[in-house]
Amino acid sequence: MDEKPHGTRPGMADVARLAGVSAQTVSRTLSGHPNVREHTKAKVLAAVEELGYRKNDAARVLSSGRSHTLGIVVFETMFYSRSAATVGVETAAHRAGYTVSAVTVASMDSTAIQAAMTRLSEHNVEGIILALPLVQVNKGIEDLTRAIPTVCTDGSRTASTHVVTVDQHLAGRMATEHLLSLGHETVWHVSGPESWIEAGGRTQGWRETLEASGRFVPPALQGDWSPASGYQNGLILGRIPDVTAVFVASDEMAFGVIRALHELGKRVPEDISVIGVDDIPLAEYCSPSLTTVAQPFGFIGERAVERLIAAIDDPQTPAETELIEPTLIVRSSTGAPAAAS
Amino acid sequence: MDEKPHGTRPGMADVARLAGVSAQTVSRTLSGHPNVREHTKAKVLAAVEELGYRKNDAARVLSSGRSHTLGIVVFETMFYSRSAATVGVETAAHRAGYTVSAVTVASMDSTAIQAAMTRLSEHNVEGIILALPLVQVNKGIEDLTRAIPTVCTDGSRTASTHVVTVDQHLAGRMATEHLLSLGHETVWHVSGPESWIEAGGRTQGWRETLEASGRFVPPALQGDWSPASGYQNGLILGRIPDVTAVFVASDEMAFGVIRALHELGKRVPEDISVIGVDDIPLAEYCSPSLTTVAQPFGFIGERAVERLIAAIDDPQTPAETELIEPTLIVRSSTGAPAAAS
DNA sequence: CCGCCAGGGGCGCTGAGGATA
DNA sequence: GTATCCTCAGCGCCCCTGGCG
């Protein structure tokens, strides 16, 4: 009469009963503890198999106090960098025995970010990766970063967040120097949204490089990372006679720019050179193939996870900023300017 | 002396004590239950605020038996369709009050998929979305799909999985008919990996359309979704004099094909027309802009989640297959063939 | 009698100590 | 003493019952 109702998921007690051991022993064999005889282990495993037992994470987390889960907050966008970052984090975390739980945020104001972090903390994550810029930090976020180890993969930070990020300033410099070294008088720029610290870094690197070599610094145009916004800005740039080189803050916008230039009858790179940032998979295969500053997304994810786990293991770990160097990849969208008329 | 150790997260009991009510009352106000006086509610909320209390999901799940979490299994790839599908599911789930937990799988054999589903079930997900083809189904997967409502967004299925998928057969037909209607004698094809049911459907739609109108059916070339594989196949196609139209199973491969054709001195669409599938963000902005068969990823995610939740609410819901129609988007990579020599 | 709240029991698992060889 | 196993007491929360106005 004390039949389990149909469809109920078997628990550890059921396994224990079938194997003729205590629940504790089942727990130990399942978590690879020592001090369990081979024979016993076999019996337990057989019972698990027969019952189709699957462990209950909620119970495990509640009881042990550890979730072995990392949280990641990403900005809702379909663009390459988003998924690249997530994938990098996921594989690194998985390798370290952690699961990652992602929450997407639709806007970047502090309330939304705080809500996302709270959700993650309710899920008992042991650490959080912020894959977006922390534009404004409110008290709630401040508290959360104090309570839970946090690493940011954008330049921004609070007092207690660790940072692992690409040196965007350097990226801007590399792109600009590449163009200058090709013989261009100056370099124009299409930036990302100003709320992104990443975008700001690139713009700054570009401007300072230009200033350092005494060139004219053109006004920066601004896009929103989308190909469409690149296209719009390309329509403007293509109408300015002086323009011979453009540094675009992302590959996707760069293709938009190129497209607009084509429509205006400008050739790339013969008339105008264009360089992007990211090195998306298509960068090599669109026409012309795109010269770009590659960001090592996988490596960033890896380092971010490593740092986060270190901070989890020892909360005293001091919060530092780690800068990763990007790589220039020269393809065929950049070249020397046409001989002056 | 019975001080809480520093750094310990406050529990509901702490809140209750501070507010001078029982833990039960805290629970009720927090889950929006009726039968709590305004005044009491306010006291509780104040205490929550002061303590920085965040609810503990593990405990809630364990105790209530409900996790309000959906699981999704995706194939590890950086390509567009992957993230598009995930985003669609995430937003739809979120709107319905569910969280989604994703697990990435590196290979598509049944063992890997079973492992992924098991992990999800250990996380107590209430339903699972399989965003990959179920090539081979073993007993473990069979059991899991029986125990947990499952919907597949690829054509494949077990006896108890629901299916929401794009009509790939139709996609293949639409692409082929478009090319034929432009006046091409026949259409060549670069397919996806044969293990993907999606790829198979497109290929089949292409072949049958050709057969139906009595055209020559060229041998299908095969890629692996990557731009590089498209490029390789393009290098082959561009050397075959007869080729005037190519149906490529994904946009990313299509750009690879176009690139190769350019290198071989062929113009697109003047010499050869190329059509892709997916409608990635860049399709409109690369040169030439790509004619393609768009897949409504967002809508798929939405429908998949709806169906899944219906199945969770009523496990008796019969498993059906829902086919979603793709859309032809004509841009500038396809055109009429050059007048016969 | 109904609206509001407190208390006990238990979800499935693990950590600590004791018992048995 | 050492290897193996078991009993016991919670983890933080929600459901149920019942008492108080």
Residue A77: phi and psi, rounded to 5, are -155, 150
Chain B contact for A269 (CB, 8 A cutoff)? no
In a domain, A337, yes or no: no
Q: Which residues of B touch A65 (CB under 8 A)?
A: none
| Number of domains chain A is built from | 3
Whether the per-residue pLDDT at A290 is higher than 50: the answer is yes
In a domain, A173, yes or no: yes
Closest CA to B88 of B138, B129, B141: B129
pLDDT in tens, A175-199: 999 999 999 999 999 999 988 888 9
Q: What is the pLDDT of residue A54?
A: 93
Cis ω on the peptide bond leading into residue A296 (within 30° of 0)?
no
Whether the per-residue pLDDT at B68 is higher than 50: the answer is yes
Across the range B198-225, mean pLDDT stands at: 97
Residue A215: phi and psi, rounded to 5, are -90, 165
What percent of chain A has a predicted confidence (pLDDT) above 90? 74
Chain B contact for A82 (CB, 8 A cutoff)? yes
Q: What is the pLDDT of residue B159?
A: 80
Q: What is the distance of C-alpha A322 from the center of its chain?
A: 15
Same domain, A201 and A230: yes
In a domain, A57, yes or no: no
Pairing of strands B188-191, A127-131: unpaired
In sequence order, what are the residues at sequence separation of 6 or more whose Cβ sits closer than 8 angstroms to the Cβ of residue B299? B88, B324
Going by pLDDT thresholds of 50, 70 and 90, the confidence category of residue A340 is: low
In a domain, B56, yes or no: no
Across the range B228-253, mean pLDDT stands at: 97
Q: What is the pLDDT of residue B160?
A: 85
Same domain, B217 and B181: yes
In a domain, B6, yes or no: no
Across the range B198-227, mean pLDDT stands at: 97
Between CA B89 and CA B155 the distance in angstroms is 17
Tokens of A279: 């090195």
pLDDT in tens, B263-322: 999 999 999 999 999 999 999 999 899 999 999 999 999 999 999 999 999 988 899 999
Same domain, B248 and B191: yes
CB spacing of A231 vs B59 below 8 angstroms? no
Sheet containing strand A291-294, edge to edge, reads: A221-222, A188-191, A245-248, A273-278, A291-294, A327-329
Residue B9 approaches strand D within 7 Å at CB: yes
Across the range A9-28, mean pLDDT stands at: 90
Same domain, A283 and A317: no
Whether the per-residue pLDDT at B2 is higher than 60: the answer is no
Residue B247: phi and psi, rounded to 5, are -105, 115
pLDDT in tens, B12-56: 888 888 888 888 888 888 887 777 788 888 888 888 888 889 999
Q: Angle at which helices A227-237 and A251-263 pack, to 10 degrees?
A: 40
**Structural domain of A36:** 12-51
Q: What is the pLDDT of residue B1?
A: 34
Q: Which residues of B touch A90 (CB under 8 A)?
A: 104
Chain B contact for A61 (CB, 8 A cutoff)? yes
Of A78-87, A98-107, B53-62, B287-296, the range with the lowest mean pLDDT is: A78-87
Tokens of A242: 């002086």
**For residue B188, what are the β-bridge partners?**
B246
Between CA B16 and CA A278 the distance in angstroms is 51
CB spacing of B90 vs A104 below 8 angstroms? yes
Can you say whether the dihedral through the CA atoms of A263, A268, A271, A272 is positive or negative? positive
Q: How far is the CA of A310 from the C1' of C16 (A)?
A: 28
Whether the per-residue pLDDT at B127 is higher than 90: the answer is yes
Same domain, B194 and B267: yes
Q: Which residues of A touch B58 (CB under 8 A)?
A: 57-59, 61-62, 67, 124
Chain B contact for A83 (CB, 8 A cutoff)? yes
Going by pLDDT thresholds of 50, 70 and 90, the confidence category of residue B340 is: low
Chain A contact for B139 (CB, 8 A cutoff)? no
In a domain, B21, yes or no: yes
Q: Nearest nucleotide by C1' from A64 CA?
A: C14
In a domain, B317, yes or no: yes
Across the range A270-282, mean pLDDT stands at: 97
Whether the per-residue pLDDT at A341 is higher than 80: the answer is no
Q: What CATH number is given to the structural domain containing A41?
A: 1.10.260.40
Q: What is the pLDDT of residue A171?
A: 98
| Residue whose CA lies closest to nucleotide C8 C1' | B24
What percent of chain B has a predicted confidence (pLDDT) above 90? 70
Q: What CATH number is given to the structural domain containing A105?
A: 3.40.50.2300
Tokens of B12: 């509901």
Whether the per-residue pLDDT at A36 is higher than 90: the answer is no
Between CA A218 and CA B23 the distance in angstroms is 63
In a domain, B58, yes or no: no
Same domain, B190 and B248: yes
Q: What is the pLDDT of residue B287?
A: 87
Same domain, A182 and A267: yes
- DSSP for A267-283, please give it: -TTTT-EEEEEE--GGG
pLDDT in tens, B135-191: 888 999 999 999 999 999 987 777 889 999 999 999 999 999 999 999 999 999 999
**For residue B321, what are the β-bridge partners?**
B163
Across the range A161-167, mean pLDDT stands at: 94
Q: Which residues of B touch A227 (CB under 8 A)?
A: 281-282, 284-285
Same domain, B79 and B112: yes
Across the range A8-22, mean pLDDT stands at: 89
Average pLDDT score over chain B: 91
Tokens of B214: 């009595």
Same domain, A202 and A316: no
Going by pLDDT thresholds of 50, 70 and 90, the confidence category of residue A306 is: very high
Residues 114-133 of B with CB under 8 A from A: 118-119, 121-124
Same domain, A218 and A79: no
For testing contact with chain A, the best of B287, B289, B312, B333 (most A CBs within 10 A): B287
Going by pLDDT thresholds of 50, 70 and 90, the confidence category of residue A4 is: very low
Same domain, A173 and A162: no
Whether the per-residue pLDDT at A243 is higher than 80: the answer is yes
Between CA B254 and CA B256 the distance in angstroms is 5
Whether the per-residue pLDDT at A298 is higher than 80: the answer is yes
Between CA A267 and CA B293 the distance in angstroms is 29
Same domain, B194 and B127: no
pLDDT in tens, B216-234: 999 999 999 999 999 999 9
